[in-house]
Amino acid sequence: MSMLSVLKREARHTGVVALYLLFCFGIFTTLTKLLLASHQIEFSALVPTVIIALALAKVVVLLDLTPVASHLDTRHPIWAATLYKTLFYCAVSAPVLIAERVWHAYRETGAFGEAVLETWKHTDPNVVLAKVIIVGLVFACYHLYQGIDRRLGQGQLRRIILSRG
């Protein structure tokens, strides 16, 4: 297989995962906007939503290639593999999300230590918990779909969902 075909396949896979994450996070962002609008609070998070979806898509694609993910898929029932992989992916994704916030603070302050302190000082535990729950639910749906699709045969679940009966 040529390097170009491998890159195309990986870009397509990453793009599909990114679109899924963007769709899911877009729903939660829209719900947040609607809830805050009822209190006359303006909220716009399109750019951060896109950046987080792209960053997490690459994390998901890379983690899908790890021996841990393969081991969980082959040695556990779908529900257990979904649970374990969701917890694993959330644990790995948390530093990525934190690093993204530190990066924004670093661009404002110009000092890494100060950026870490700013990020820590402005972190609301309720918001962090909400984000963990959202990301966990999104990952769980992704892993459940992937697990069922793998057991049925790659692409079969999509064909079943899109068929007319």
Answer whether residue 75 shows pLDDT above 80.
Answer: yes
What mean pLDDT is predicted for residues 109-127?
A: 85
Residue 122 pLDDT grade (very low, low, confident, very high; cuts 50, 70, 90): confident
What mean pLDDT is predicted for residues 5-25?
A: 89
Q: What does the block give as tokens for 98?
A: 């934190």
Percentage of the chain beyond pLDDT 90 is 33
More confident residue, 87 or 46: 87
- Residue range of the domain that includes 38: 3-162
58/6 Cα distance (integer angstroms): 15
Contacts of 61 (CB under 8 A, 6+ apart): 10, 13, 14, 17
> Residue 118's pLDDT is what?
85
Which run of H or of E encompasses 30?
helix 3-37
Residue 46 pLDDT grade (very low, low, confident, very high; cuts 50, 70, 90): confident
Q: What does the block give as tokens for 54?
A: 């792209």
Contacts of 132 (CB under 8 A, 6+ apart): 90, 94
Number of domains, the chain? 1
> Residue 1's pLDDT is what?
67
17/126 Cα distance (integer angstroms): 27
> Residue 135's pLDDT is what?
92
Q: What does the block give as tokens for 50?
A: 């896109």
14/35 Cα distance (integer angstroms): 31
Q: Report the mean per-residue pLDDT for the chain.
A: 88
15/10 Cα distance (integer angstroms): 8
